[in-house]
Structure 1
Amino acid sequence: MSTTEQGTPERSATADREIVISRIIDAPRELVFEAFTDVRHLSRWWGPEGFTTTTRAFEFRVGGQWDFVMHGPDGTDYQEWITWTELTPPERIALLHGESRGDPNAFESVLTFAPDGAATRIEMRTVFPTKELHDEAVEKYHAIEGGRQTLGNLAAYVTEIVRKGAED
């Protein structure tokens, strides 16, 4: 966050519509990035605790899509769709995420992967089209906690890969 000349924090134009979640993951940046780019990895860790994922289509390229269903621990299925809008390996992924192609309520996310010594700092910045959709995601769908859990699942997954690699 930047500050104005008066020393007060400058507020982002999207602050009331965005969620920012970050985490340090004890794994190399290339591996953390790969966990986002390969469906065999994504399907093993994606989503909050207790959720599983079934992929219907996956093409990791700008303009490609990931069409999938998240299965909640209570048996509820959530139709999901992502299209990749920018890919800069192994630094950045930008995407549009909704329930389906053309979803008017789809939100934009940018993920950045920065080296932090031998670890990786991942930041997920999500911007919703409206404050109301942001508030609904936070209050009804617990998006902040869900995002933290999802990055926690990613951390556990890649840390296990690193551990197994060290044993080989």
Structure 2
Amino acid sequence: MTDREILVSRTIDAPRDLVFEAFTEVRHLSRWWGPDGFTTTTHAFRFTVGGEWTFVMHGPDGTDYPEWITWTEIVAPERITLLHGETPGDPNAFETVLTFTADGTATHVEMRTVFPTKAQRDEAAEKYHAIEGGRQTLGNLAAYVTATAR
């Protein structure tokens, strides 16, 4: 791991195909995406390489965060690589690689985010609590897919 990365992972008690699918359809993402207390409003969504997801994350304090994601690699059901910023062409956009590894009937999810600079990584970690936010996001994913699997 480099000084520009944040790595968050979790083992989820649900099959890999279901965990992967939770990232591929907006009807799923809108139910779990984001840290605790956040909600998401999607404006556009197309899950293909080069496709985009434009959305607003609504913080528990009422703050709106415009977000934009484009997928740069999709290897179902093993890996998703994406570029994430506020808008298309955002010079501060960062890359995230999600890997999904089957572990018996469970799935190990790894979310590796690489920022353009160490300073941006440090700001994300300190100002925006990206590490805890990533853990909460994977926790929300786990709660959603384990409820869905039942």
TM category, shorter: over 0.9
Q: RMSD of aligned C-alpha atoms?
A: 0.5
Unaligned runs of 5+ in 2: none
- Say whether 1:161 aligns with 2:136: no
Residue matched to 2:27 = 40
Offset, 1:151: 0.1
SS state at 2:23 partner: helix
Residue matched to 2:109 = 122
Q: Larger Cα Rg: Structure 1 or Structure 2?
A: 1
> What letter is aligned with 1:17?
R
> What letter is aligned with 2:41?
T
Offset, 1:77: 0.2
Residue matched to 2:50 = 63
- 1:1-168 matches, within 5 Å, as 12=1, 15-163=2-150
Output one character per residue of 1:37-57: Cα deviation in whole Å (capped at 9) or x when no partner. Answer: 000000100000000000000
TM, length-normalised to structure 1? 0.89
> What letter is aligned with 1:149?
Q
Q: How many residues align?
A: 150
Offset, 1:108: 0.2
Percent identical among aligned pairs is 78
Unaligned runs of 5+ in 1: 1-11, 164-168
> What letter is aligned with 2:104?
G
If asked which structure has higher relative contact order (CA below 8 Å, sep 6+), I would say 2
Offset, 1:124: 0.3
Output one character per residue of 1:73-115: Cα deviation in whole Å (capped at 9) or x when no partner. Answer: 0000000000000000000000000000000000000000000
Offset, 1:63: 0.1
Residue matched to 1:3 = none
